[in-house]
């Protein structure tokens, strides 16, 4: 690729991704929405609000103008919370050129439309723009630190996925390719809901057995939804599926796990969210997953109980009782298991 890229969004993941690109010798324009963060990066080369402890190198150029950020970029990586993506995509669309590659780094679903991020892009962007999604077990702080990480990039155009793979891969960051855009996006979104459930379980002190069961049965729910929507089953057994789920449901750096843990400890969701600087995607995604499951006629009991706890103020212990007292079934993956 050319030695220029753009990152849209200066949260923790967008900032970490700039550090990743700079290690590959790629000059990167970072679009920053907040004036104060722009000034901090420009003056001090730091982003202490979202990713403290790291210095951004000269190859990372902050900018407030979205058109300026993507103008010369062969690849643009969008790291924006799902609820803001459509607005950002609409602003990007008029400045994209044929042949440019846009990669979604967002792990969520749009409320209301229930669409994946690349679905929204395909509706908004010119048809000559190539789309991809990158996902997998990748905490921003560990990527920023250069710790070993493996992810998957999916595109319906194999050459596009391979181009991104070559641009990003290094001894510390290994990229696999996949054609299953649907599966990678569904896995990345729904795993956050299961991770929040695991956090609730740990916050209640239910132990490792319960958490392992939630992760395992949660993977069944993610896979069930993905298959109904046309994804490939093997995707859910890879980095975007079980890999990211295990990380997010067990790692203390996971915002979604932490929200669940605090709920399990007795805190109320509005209080938790009011004190957070970054978005916990599981909260809005739990609404979209419930609506998708209803629309598709799919049983997703763990996701259903997370929705009830988050949005109907259901007691987490009552949710556990309801999960454990469901009618007994066989384990094979099937719509009613």
Take residue 100 and report the two structure tokens written for it: 């440019």
Work out the angle at residue 157's Cα, subtended by the Cα atoms of residues 153 and 161, and round it to the nearest 5 degrees: 25
3-state secondary structure of 177: strand
Question: 182, 191, 228, 314: which is the annotated catalytic residue?
Answer: 191
Closest CA to 153 of 102, 190, 90: 102
Take residue 251 and report the two structure tokens written for it: 């790692």
Q: Tell me, yes or no, if 191 is annotated catalytic.
A: yes
Q: How far apart are CA 41 and CA 35, in angstroms?
A: 10
H-assigned helices in the chain = 12-23, 35-44, 66-70, 82-93, 117-124, 140-144, 158-168, 181-203, 207-228, 244-250, 255-264, 269-274, 282-296, 301-311, 316-324
Question: Which contiguous run of DSSP H or E holds residue 63?
Answer: strand 60-63
Question: Which contiguous run of DSSP H or E holds residue 30?
Answer: strand 27-31
Q: How far apart are CA 261 and CA 198, in angstroms?
A: 8
Tell me the sheet residues that pair with 63. Answer: 31
CB neighbour class for 117 (10 Å; exposed up to 12, middle 13-18, buried from 19): buried
Q: How far apart are CA 176 and CA 166, in angstroms?
A: 10
Dihedral-angle region of residue 20 (phi above 0 means left; psi in -120 to 50 means alpha; beta otherwise): alpha
CB atoms within 10 A of CB 6: 28
Output the CA–CA distances (angstroms, integers) from residue 246 to 138, 142, 165, 320, in the order listed: 11, 16, 23, 20
Q: Are 289 and 300 in contact (CB under 8 A)?
A: yes
Which 8-state DSSP code applies to residue 239? I
Catalytic residues, by residue number, are 191
């Amino acid at each position: 690729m050319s030695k220029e890229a753009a990152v849209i969004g200066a949260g923790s993941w967008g900032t970490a991704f700039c550090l990743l690109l700079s290690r590959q010798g790629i000059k990167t324009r970072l679009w920053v929405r907040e004036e104060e963060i722009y000034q901090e990066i420009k003056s001090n080369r730091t982003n202490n609000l979202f990713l403290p402890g790291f210095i951004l190198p000269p190859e990372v150029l902050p900018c407030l103008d979205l058109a300026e950020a993507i103008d010369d970029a062969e690849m643009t990586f969008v790291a924006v919370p799902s609820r803001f993506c459509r607005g950002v995509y609409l602003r990007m669309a008029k400045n994209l050129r044929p042949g440019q590659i846009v990669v979604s780094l967002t792990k969520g679903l749009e409320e209301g439309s229930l669409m994946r991020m690349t679905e929204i892009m395909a509706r908004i962007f010119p048809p000559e723009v190539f789309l991809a999604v990158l996902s997998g077990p990748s905490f921003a702080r560990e990527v920023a630190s250069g710790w070993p990480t493996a992810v998957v990039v999916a595109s319906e155009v194999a050459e596009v996925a391979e181009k991104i793979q070559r641009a990003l891969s290094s001894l510390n960051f290994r990229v696999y390719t996949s054609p299953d855009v649907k599966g990678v996006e569904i896995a990345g979104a729904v795993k956050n809901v299961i991770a929040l459930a695991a956090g609730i379980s740990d916050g209640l002190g239910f132990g490792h057995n319960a958490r392992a069961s939630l992760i395992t049965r949660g993977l069944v729910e993610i896979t069930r939804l993905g298959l109904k929507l046309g994804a490939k089953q093997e995707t859910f057994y890879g980095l975007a599926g079980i890999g990211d789920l295990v990380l997010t449901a067990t790692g203390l750096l996971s915002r979604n796990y932490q929200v669940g843990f605090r709920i399990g400890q007795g805190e109320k969701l509005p209080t938790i969210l009011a004190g957070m600087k970054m978005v916990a995607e599981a909260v809005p995604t739990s609404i979209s997953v419930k609506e998708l499951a209803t629309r598709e006629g799919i049983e997703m009991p763990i996701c259903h109980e997370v929705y009830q706890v988050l949005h109907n103020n259901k007691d987490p212990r009552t949710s556990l009782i309801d999960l454990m007292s469901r009618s007994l079934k066989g384990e094979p993956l099937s719509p009613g298991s």
